[in-house]
Amino acid sequence: MPPSADMETFRKLVNAAKHVVILTGAGVSAESGVPTFRGAGGYWRQFEAQQLATLQAFRKNPSLVWEFYHYRREVVLTKEPNPAHLAIAEFEKRLQHEGKKVVVITQNVDDLHVRAGTEKLIRLHGSLFQTKCMNCSDIAVNFDSPICPALKDKGKPDTNAEDARIPVESLPRCQKCQGLVRPGVIWFGENLNEGDLTAAGKELEECDLCLVVGTSSVVYPAAMFAPQVAARGVPVAEFNLESTPATSRFGFHFEGPCGKTLPQALSP
């Protein structure tokens, strides 16, 4: 049978749930105007994002990679959490008062969930607003704008823009050892953090309701999370602009902007 779009039935499950896991992807942030850098048009200057989101690219040209990530940070700082982010945060607070649990597992790196008020958050792919030292591995939170003086006004996506070629010593540095720092995100070819994966796995094993929000369900291992939950008989609901490769495996599918469907689904 195709998944149901019966909102009334789903809301009854929401009201009965005691441990809810919400998986979110780029579609949620796209509704706030955050570029996804995936699919058609996913370019910065003449580069595909995947060309710059690797350790090899950073070692070869840290100035160029930092221009790209500085641009992304500056863009995100101009955006605000949308109704979907806010609905999730309000839902978490309400259920917390009822002695229940809501955990958000996100593939997004923009921290809009945090700014919306979400507290129990597992960031599978890290954060644009964290840095990791290449020397001592220290991880630090950093919301500075610009992240360093040399990157001020750099990183414009104009295809005719020339590379800034910033000297390594002028790029963002570690506050503890003064080593070069990199963006605190998981790059292509890198493993996800074991602690985050373990925490996510525990929540998925214990939840009695799962929501999949704004994700294409094609990026692994996150793409397998909800199908695994569904396989053990737990209700799973997908909220997305369109169907995904995993839609047929879920009990519910609500099509349309998450900022419209999710507040309706999670409201008191």
Q: Which residues are part of a known binding site?
A: 25-44, 69, 72, 107-110, 133, 136, 174, 177, 214-216, 240-242, 258
Of 70, 113, 125, 253, which residue is the catalytic one? 125
Active site residue 253: no
What the block records as the tokens of 135 is 């020397």
Nearest alpha-carbon partner for 65 in 42, 46, 49, 43: 49
Residue whose token pair is 């599918």: 253
- Could you list the residues known to form a binding site for Zn(2+), using ranges: 133, 136, 174, 177
Q: Please state, in angstroms and rounded to a whole number, the distance separating the CA atoms of residues 192 and 126.
A: 9
Phi/psi at 69 (nearest 5 deg)? Answer: -75, -30
Q: Please state, in angstroms and rounded to a whole number, the distance separating the CA atoms of residues 64 and 154.
A: 10
- CB-based contact 84:1 (threshold 8 Å): no
Q: Quick one: the chain helix, strand, coil %, rounded to 5?
A: 40, 20, 45
What the block records as the tokens of 55 is 């350790």
What the block records as the tokens of 248 is 């047929």
Measured N-to-C along each axis, helices 83-97 and 258-266 cross at an angle, to the nearest 10 degrees, of 20
- Could you list the residues known to form a binding site for NAD(+), using ranges: 25-44, 107-110, 214-216, 240-242, 258
What the block records as the tokens of 213 is 């929000």
- Could you list the residues known to form a binding site for substrate, using ranges: 69, 72
Q: Provide the strand spans (E) within the chain.
A: 19-24, 43-44, 47-48, 101-106, 121-123, 126-133, 139-141, 181-185, 209-213, 236-240, 252-255
Q: Provide the strand spans (E) within 139-228.
A: 139-141, 181-185, 209-213
Give the residue numbers annotated as catalytic, written as ranges: 125
